Structure 1
Amino acid sequence: MKWALRVFAFLDLVSFILMFGEGTVQIQSFFLSESFTINEIFSRFLYLLLWLSLLCSSIFLAIPKKAGIIIYYFQVLPRIMFLVFSVGFISYISHYVALQNLEQIFFSFFIFIEMLRLYFSYQIKKELF
């Protein structure tokens, strides 16, 4: 089961790397003298927490530690809110394949895979920790 945690760690690291550009833009936006509504501040702060927690969970899952699974449990809702899925990098296929409704198919697939990961994380936590 430790190999599964390491695969999850790799997927989190890939997600962190793919979100790097947007994450740095979000950090820079806090230091600009723009005025934000409370909703914008909250959503940007939540996005930054998700982005940084991806790095933390990838480190703790690679070790493997129980903290990595707990961090993942806290990430589930923001992942769905911001569409940051574990296998979201597969969506780059849509740049090369021209099919109708490919995004809808991917979205359903990604939600299913994310729920599978949640189930397997729970099973691994029960077994190892």
Structure 2
Amino acid sequence: MHSSCLAFHTAAAGLAILLSNRISKALQESVKAATQITNGNFDIDLAANGNDETAQLQSALNSMAATLRNNLAEITAKTEETEDKAIQAQEATRKAEEAMRQRVARPTLSTEWKKHPKWLKAAQSLLAKQD
């Protein structure tokens, strides 16, 4: 009876060590994954086996990393789109300013031309064709 009790305790101790190692390994992997996420690495894939708390933790870390990865991709795409629109707006502003400079630089009718209605009418007609 003493030997069967010893065998039971040995088996129980072995099982406890096995479970403890399994939990410890899962927690170490989870800590490593959380550190990677903190450092901006969202490409993690923990093997969340089972239904215990460590598996739930690993599953939650996988989900969090995937969500952060997707959010970052969306933010990056929107940032690039916004930068493209800003460049387009700057180009449109530059073209508008150039058009304004050309409009201001366009010759105007002198007072002398205004004294001659036929010349004035011909000049206005030419300027209208340029627009």
TM-score, normalised to structure 2, is 0.31
TM-score, normalised to structure 1, is 0.32
With a CA cutoff of 8 Å and minimum separation of 6, indicate the structure with the bigger relative contact order. Answer: 1
Pick the structure with greater CA Rg.
2
